[in-house]
Amino acid sequence: MTIADLKDRNLILFETIAGSKSFGLDTPTSDTDIKGVFYLPKEMFFGMEYIPQVNNETNDIVYYELGRYIELLTKNNPNILELLATPEDCVLHRHPVMEQLQLSNFLSKLCKDTFAGYAATQIKKATGLKKKIINPVDKERKSLLDFCYVLSGNTSIPLADWLSENNLSQEQCGLVSIPHFKDMFAVFIDTGNVLVYKGVAKGTESNQVVLSSVPKGETAAAHLYCNKEAYSSYCKDYKEYWDWIKKRNEDRYNTNSLHGKNYDSKNMMHTIRLLQSAKQILTEGALNIRVNNREELLNIKSGNMEYDDLMVLANSLLDDIEKAKDTSALPERPNILKAERLLVAMRTELYK
């Protein structure tokens, strides 16, 4: 099932312009996002070909199957509720059956967890991006050997420095574990021409040190500590950073670089907008996605606010949301049985 199939077979029930244009936050460079709702032909719905979603490759055009859409409404998914609250000037098509879906039937205190919870995730994501921008990871990958240190008097020195000072290679070393000392090893040196020890590690790609058999009576040349936890953390950071480099949106990254605040300003704009929406839902029992503070939000998007000030604003909104939930007249959760009866009625009408 493709988007073309949905249109050719008149299966689209609801189609809207979504995203920044529906929020009133679009600028001349903004893309046009399309979202909507469709229903499956009767034979597919009752058969074995249920399809919950149809989208294009870039996900800027997405349609949800009617049952999946109502399921997400009952979960107070922010993107789905916002779709139902789309301003009329952004609605491209609405089948009469969709008039049965009223926003008031789905708004609940659950929005505190879904809207604010999603915003909190975005804040964490922005913090991670800030960390990546401020602390870039070198393309040349470190090895386990870079996390090995040799005791020297009352201090320690990197293994590479110790090897260099003693005109040795790591292949000449033999390690023996020391009982009761985690990741500590006695280092023995093979001074002959034939290497009888296994070295510290098997190459730069190894993630474990290797142990050697050492004859009795040999004297350890040094003691080595391998910081495996630091190496594991580095490997994770390395992968995350270079995956981000590979997948990042270059235009968006360049915008963030230009304002020099070291955070994803578009991400933070939508985070604040989500928190403001959650507050409105809990205090007014309504959701108007066309913002009335366009300039304030675009100011955030432009990177004109400091990251710490945005965190203060976000935490203040989170406190307001927590208080509003306690006094809100909304139900704890949407009425699932009512939603199910509504879905059955809509399908019955569509398939009659």
Range of the domain at 222: 144-233
Give tens-digit pLDDT for 158-185.
999 999 999 999 999 999 999 999 999 9
Please tell me whether the overall predicted TM-score, pTM, comes out greater than 0.85 for this model: no
Give the span between the Cα atoms of 272 and 115, in whole angstroms.
Answer: 10
Show the tokens assigned to 28: 């001349």
What SS3 class is residue 226? Answer: strand
- The residue behind tokens 């989208």 is 55
User: Is position 329 within any domain?
Assistant: no
DSSP H or E run through 34: strand 33-38
Residues 84 and 149 in one domain: no
The answer to whether the Cα torsion of 332, 335, 337, 343 is positive or negative is negative
Question: Could you say which residues of the chain have pLDDT below 50?
Answer: 254-258
DSSP state of 312: H
Give tens-digit pLDDT for 128-160.
555 555 567 888 899 999 999 999 989 999 999
Show the tokens assigned to 13: 């029930």
Show the tokens assigned to 327: 């006094």
Give the span between the Cα atoms of 199 and 173, in whole angstroms.
Answer: 5
Number of structural domains in the chain: 2
Residues 227 and 169 in one domain: yes
User: Is position 276 within any domain?
Assistant: no
Q: How many CB atoms lie within 10 A of CB 262?
A: 17
Strand partners, 15: 36, 93
Q: Look at residues 200, 233, 266 and tell me which one is the last residue of a structural domain.
A: 233
